[in-house]
Amino acid sequence: MTACIVGWAHSKFGKLTDDTLEGLIVQVAREALDHAGIEAEDVDEIVLGHFNAGFSPQDFTASLVLQADDRLRFKPATRVENACATGSAAVRQGARSIAARDARIVLVVGAEQMTKTPGPQIAENLLKASYLPEDGEIPGGFAGVFGKIADAYFQKYGDQSDALATLAAKNHKNGVENPFAQMRKDLGFDFCRQESERNPYVAGPLKRTDCSLVSDGAAAIVLTDAQTALSMRRAVALRANEHVQDFLPMSKRDILRFEGCEEAWKRALKSAGVTLDDLSFVETHDCFTIAELIEYEAMGLAKPGEGGKIALEGQTEKNGRLPVNPSGGLKAKGHPIGATGVSMHALTAMQLTGEAGGIQIPDAKLGGIFNMGGAAVANYVSILERIK
């Protein structure tokens, strides 16, 4: 319990054509400091999560955070990147600086602007998060990678189309009440299940409703040590914060197991001294519905091959055994790469302080987060608890 979240900010996610990457970064940095009640001169370190990979012509972005307040000048600022888990990589770097006593207050920002990039280039940029010698020519870009995983899962465990549609419908229903979400529309099971002109197949058995959205957006959190946090307005502790990196080539792994995700969850639960049953909810990385399904198995919620059963039984609905993605997840909220992990931490902190509005899980005590980069290559799990 060495680092605590004491403030946060979150932009709307979506197609933000009137905003710039710099503007989004500046907005959430200012708002997070204000929310925490911390002056810019008291910040010891800045960490920016920004994937880029070609989305922004401005590739040296760490110092853009300084534009939020001139008093941030001369503060150490670093940009970190770990594919789709870039935001959680930034959170972890901030938490480690606090644990090492190199910093007392760290401002963590995650941001991405994707929608100004032409469609074919978006696919090319995202595919850079896979192992190009094996996957560089795969049809459908990164969706093709997960289409390949879905095909293999279906072949081993049977057709999971009903389960995937259930997951998509669940997350879209949850996202309706999230004011930050890109798509606030309850699409329903039937729309998600049936192929149509508006919901065509994209890759393998994955339809458009199985895929997360291309998004712009930013989020920020302020981290402090626990002693400082207890003197602040609010304090949400990182009771566990684990990172597991796996092989990049899928050929070197059992891709249906998400073993890095499994290991990260084991370490986090052990570190926190809790079990999965102690969690009030989980925000997990549903870049594709098949990912959320396999993550149920990796986190220990379901046995191998039975993730779909958990979904169909409603165990992960908001009123189920373990609510998963009450925010709407990446599926409805959106997935601006660098912002996603920071967003997960901000929204989980909101839940634990009772400030989550329409997506609030009643009496939430412990929140779990899983954010991954690539196909379960970079794996981050946090367990958060309010201590003030």
335 is catalytic: yes
* C-alpha dihedral (148, 154, 155, 157), degrees to nearest 10: 140
Q: Tell me if 23 sits within 8 A of 97, measured CB to CB.
A: no
Domain presence at residue 383: no
pLDDT for 1: 63
Distance CA 28, CA 43 (A): 15
Domain presence at residue 80: yes
Burial classification of residue 100, based on how many CB atoms lie within 10 Å of its CB (0-12 exposed, 13-18 middle, 19 or more buried): exposed
Angle made by CA atoms 347, 351, 355, in degrees to the nearest 5: 95
pTM of the model: 0.98
Instruction: Provide the strand spans (E) within the chain.
Output: 3-10, 45-49, 77-80, 105-113, 201-203, 206-207, 216-225, 236-245, 281-283, 366-373, 378-386
**What's 222's domain CATH number?**
3.40.47.10
Domain that holds residue 11: 3-115+216-229
Distance CA 151, CA 281 (A): 29
Burial classification of residue 158, based on how many CB atoms lie within 10 Å of its CB (0-12 exposed, 13-18 middle, 19 or more buried): exposed
Catalytic-role residue among 35, 50, 172, 335 = 335
Domain presence at residue 208: no
Q: Which helix (H) or strand (E) holds 136?
A: none
Domain presence at residue 88: yes
Distance CA 356, CA 345 (A): 12
Maximum Cα interatomic distance, the chain, rounded to a whole number of Å: 58
Domain presence at residue 152: no
Domain presence at residue 386: no
Domain count, the chain: 1
Catalytic-role residue among 84, 211, 261, 287 = 84
- The residues facing 4 across adjacent strands are 224, 237
pLDDT for 272: 97
The runs of H, that is alpha helices, within 13-106 are 21-36, 86-99
Distance CA 185, CA 177 (A): 9
Q: Tell me if 347 sits within 8 A of 361, measured CB to CB.
A: no
Closest CA to 242 of 366, 343, 81, 95: 95
pLDDT for 139: 85
pLDDT along the chain (388 residues), means of 10: 93 97 98 98 98 95 98 98 98 97 98 95 93 90 94 98 98 98 98 97 97 97 97 97 98 97 98 98 98 98 97 98 98 98 98 97 98 98 97
Domain presence at residue 106: yes
Domain presence at residue 168: no
- The residues facing 211 across adjacent strands are 288
